[in-house]
Amino acid sequence: MGILEKISEIEKEIARTQKNKATEYHLGLLKAKLAKYRAQLLEPSKSASSKGEGFDVMKSGDARVALIGFPSVGKSTFLSLMTSTASEAASYEFTTLTCIPGVIEYKGANIQLLDLPGIIEGAAQGRGRGRQVIAVARTADVVVMMLDATKGDVQRSLLEKELESVGIRLNKHKPNIYFKPKKGGGISFNSTVTLTQCSEKLVQLILHEYKIFNAEVLFREDCSPDEFIDVIVGNRVYMPCLYVYNKIDQISMEEVDRLARKPNSVVISCGMKLNLDYLLEMLWEYLALTCIYTKKRGQRPDFSDAIILRKGASVEHVCHRIHRSLASQFKYALVWGTSTKYSPQRVGLTHTMEHEDVIQIVKK
Ligand SMILES: Nc1nc2c(ncn2[C@@H]2O[C@H](COP(=O)(O)OP(=O)(O)OP(=O)(O)O)[C@@H](O)[C@H]2O)c(=O)[nH]1
Ligand SMILES: [K+]
Ligand SMILES: [Mg+2]
């Protein structure tokens, strides 16, 4: 039996045990066991069995959003409010022990929302269930960092540090540096812009530190040494992050105003259901999904049923979404919308679609 199952067994037993003088010890023992198992879950464990227990949630829907935050900031309350899934919420820390998926239906898209255990300082080193939570965060399209508006900004910078330390880059784009290790020829260094933070010398020093003596490097942007290191190391994920300050019912109007003005931030109250619509709008923007409408020849476009794709999706992606074999029968497509110069315009499979384009596909 896994730890989670043991925990749920004990919880059930506590629930069905009557509280009286005779059961006092029994209940006490059960609660002690429960605390022990919870502590075990929260400690980095050496055994492989409990490693990812309860965290392997299938990706589903059009996009995935992970809820990251300290314990008891209101992540589960939020999931239960926004989706039809109920996730237990309580005033004690570490109520949630696994990954709980729910679905937000918005503008015709299914957005998978993942409730996760609270993480704390040291999470990246394996404190609590930090590692598992961070592993899930890496698979998301957007991170919602939920913060307790009553707690000050220290939580935010702590969490940012944790995520940074495992190679997650929030609200940053991939550095525009071309980097290619070679078999020989030394290091060739070039830049298309004036560099104020890196020099050829520094780049060479960094490369030597990584035991790279032959490579081609081209800076197309004025990047910092840290950004260059990110490029060498690879394996970084660049992810939009929305900072959500919850529990604004507990703070002054002035404080609400201050938080709301921070970049990439939204203020809400799950308790009072405040500003949740605005949060959804922001989330939609951060997900940057593209809605495509299809149209049959001689008919009006079907605006009731959008095809939802990632930003930058091509006509080929649209074909795959409609039918597996459509791309192989494809002759050309007619597209109306902002992605074309003329409306309609005849395009091929590689044409990049834009939000709210209409497409008519012509088969061979
Ligand atoms: N005042 C106030 N309390 C809230 C609000 N949202 C949630 N809470 C309370 O905050 C407590 C923690 O909520 P949870 O949803 O369990 O928090 P969590 O982040 O999932 O916590 P863990 O799973 O333990 O990490 C509960 O007592 C909630 O009722 C809010 O907007 N205002
Ligand atoms: K809680
Ligand atoms: Mg929770």
The ligand 1 atom at the shortest distance from the C-alpha of residue 89 is: 16
Pairwise CA distance, residues 70 & 208, whole Å:
39
Å from CA of 54 to ligand 2 middle: 18
Three-state DSSP class for residue 161: helix
Å from CA of 92 to ligand 2 middle: 5
Residue 132 CB–ligand 1 contact under 6 Å:
no
Per-chain mean pLDDT for the chain: 90
Ligand closest to Cα of 80 equals 1
Extended beta strands in 220-296, E state = 237-239, 241-246, 265-267, 290-294
Q: Is the pLDDT of residue 34 over 80?
A: no
Q: Is the pLDDT of residue 267 over 70?
A: yes
Residue 246 CB–ligand 1 contact under 6 Å:
yes
| pLDDT (average), residues 186-198 | 94
Q: Is the pLDDT of residue 48 over 50?
A: no
Q: What angle, 0 to 180 degrees and rounded to 10, lies between the N-to-C axes of helices 154-165 and 130-138?
A: 70
CA 21 to the chain's CA centroid: 49
Residue 339 CB–ligand 1 contact under 6 Å:
no
Q: For position 27, what pLDDT does the model report?
A: 85
Q: For position 50, what pLDDT does the model report?
A: 44
Q: For position 269, what pLDDT does the model report?
A: 98
Least confident of 51-55, 115-119, 233-237: 51-55
Q: Is 287 exposed, middle or buried (0-12, 13-18, 19+ CB in 10 A)?
A: buried
The ligand 1 atom at the shortest distance from the C-alpha of residue 97 is: 23
Q: Is the pLDDT of residue 335 over 80?
A: yes
Q: For position 52, what pLDDT does the model report?
A: 56
Least confident of 111-125, 132-146, 186-200: 111-125
The ligand 1 atom at the shortest distance from the C-alpha of residue 70 is: 25
Residue with the larger pLDDT of the pair 55 and 76: 76
Residue 80 CB–ligand 1 contact under 6 Å:
no
Provide the Cα torsion 57, 59, 63, 65; round to 10°. Answer: 10
Ligand closest to Cα of 151 equals 1
Q: Is the pLDDT of residue 125 over 60?
A: yes
- pTM for the structure as a whole: 0.82
Q: Is the pLDDT of residue 46 over 90?
A: no
Residue 128 CB–ligand 1 contact under 6 Å:
no
Q: For position 184, what pLDDT does the model report?
A: 94
Q: For position 328, what pLDDT does the model report?
A: 95
Q: For position 4, what pLDDT does the model report?
A: 80
Residue 71 CB–ligand 1 contact under 6 Å:
yes
Q: For position 53, what pLDDT does the model report?
A: 64
Q: For position 265, what pLDDT does the model report?
A: 97
Strands 109-115, 100-106: pairing kind: antiparallel
Residue 49's pLDDT band (boundaries 50, 70, 90)?
very low
Provide the Cα torsion 127, 119, 89, 80; round to 10°. Answer: -130
pLDDT per residue over 170-188, tens digit each? Answer: 999 999 999 999 999 999 9
Residue 73 CB–ligand 1 contact under 6 Å:
yes
Residue bearing the CA closest to ligand 1, atom 12: 72
Q: Which of 41, 70, 77, 151 to mutate to test the pocket of ligand 1 (most atoms within 8 A of CB)?
A: 77
| pLDDT (average), residues 278-297 | 95
pLDDT per residue over 79-114, tens digit each? Answer: 999 999 999 999 988 899 899 999 999 988 999 999
The ligand 1 atom at the shortest distance from the C-alpha of residue 269 is: 31
